[in-house]
Structures are given as structure tokens and as C-alpha cells.
Amino acid sequence: MLTLRNVDIHYGRVHAVRRVSLHVASGEIVALIGANGAGKTTLLSAISGVERVSGGEIEFDGKRIEAEKPERIVRLGLSHVPERRLVFGPLSVADNLLLGAYTKFRHREVAADLDEIYAMFPVLRERRDQQAAALSGGEQQMLAIGRALMARPRCLLLDEPGMGLAPQVCKEIFRHVSTLRRDKGLTVLLVEQNAKSALAVADRGYVLETGRVLLSGTSEELLANHDVRRAYLGREKDN
């Protein structure tokens, strides 16, 4: 469903992403792990059209998208849940969700999708009239995911969903990701610094280091890899 071939991204003279190639098959959850500054968020931003590539190709469902505008990419079926959630704080929870449906024109569909999001995240229904800024971090993450799902994507780019959240809340977020794949067939490219959590729900993974793909493999292979254990899972995992 999603393929990157030799993607390069520059910020001025800084070569942030270097000839990255990866693929995500339909219905897969693929994790992209690495340290801060490895280029993970930059790569997701390029896929969704927010950042421009300086070389290489990005293909979604057989269509080249590296030159497309973000709104066109959303219409093609690819939604992005950004790092730090970026909900619209002064707006209500309901209005944040409705903004995610801006590509739709059928009110019945929008109403049905709202009901589905509220069923998935009951706390959002309870707080639908509250300002998004008043929500906890975990609730804002649920809102950001719900907002992305309102566009009915076939592929979801999920950037650091566990950032700043309590372990139990993080676990709940990842449970929802697994459920979306199981029940909806949703394809997910997941960026997460907590490698153990990411690989626990993913089918495969890529390790990004200084803008390059250093390793790739199944989740089991990466979890068993000595270098991955030492770098991302803690030294105690070597015992």
C-alpha cells in the first residue's frame, strides 16, 4: 500500500533523511523506531505532504504522491496523527472531530462516523462540548486519532502516540491501534520511541539512525537483535 524508494529530505544544508526505502503492505502495522533526531517525524511529514522530499519516490496505493498537496493525500486515503497531537485547543471536542471530516459531504456518513468514534472513545462523547485544551494528554491523543479516522483513511500515520502518557494510557492507545487493524483492516505506519511497545503491536519494523535505515525485520527478529536490545530496550534485556 505504501512504498518509499530512496527518499532524501533536506533542511537547508542538513541532510535529514538519506535514501530511505521501506514498504507497508495492506493491513500491516509497521513500526519505525529510533532515537530522537533520527528522522522519523520528518519522514512521516514527507509522506503526508507536509515536508517536501529532495529526492526519491513515495507511492501510495499505486500512485506517486511525493509532489501532492496534503489535502489531496488525505482524500486518497492516508491520514496523519502528528507528534504532540496538535488538537485545536479553543475548539470543542466535537468540532475537532468534525474538522477531520472536511473532505466529506454526506451528513449521514459524518454522523455515523462520529457515533463510531464516540463508541471507541466514550470519554470523548462525555466531553464533546468541552474545549480540547481541557482534556488530559491521553484524551487529547484519543481525540487526535479520532479526528484522523473521521476521514475514513485506509492507511494511518501515527507519530509518537505514547509521548508523555502514563504507561496504562499508552497501553490503551496501542490496544485501540491493534483493534483498528483487526476490525477495520486499517494499515498503520507507527513511529514510537518506546520500541518495546511499538514492536509488541507491529508485524515488522525498521530502525532509523541519523536519517538512514539501519535494520529491518519482523518484530520478533528486532526484539531478539542484540543491538536493538541494547540501544532501545535497555541493557538488562541482554541477560
Tens of pLDDT, residue by residue, the chain (239 residues)? 999 999 999 999 999 999 999 999 999 999 999 988 899 999 999 999 999 999 999 999 999 999 999 999 999 999 999 998 999 999 999 999 999 998 876 778 899 999 999 999 999 999 999 999 999 999 999 999 999 999 999 999 999 998 888 889 999 999 999 999 999 999 999 998 888 989 999 999 999 999 999 999 999 999 999 989 888 876 443 33
Distance (Å, whole) CA 152 – CA 103: 10
Cell (9 digits) for 40: 522519523
125, amino acid identity? R
Distance (Å, whole) CA 47 – CA 66: 7
42, amino acid identity? T
Cell (9 digits) for 3: 512504498
Under CATH, domain 2-86+151-238 is a member of which superfamily? P-loop containing nucleotide triphosphate hydrolases (3.40.50.300)
Distance (Å, whole) CA 169 – CA 139: 9
This prediction's pTM: 0.92
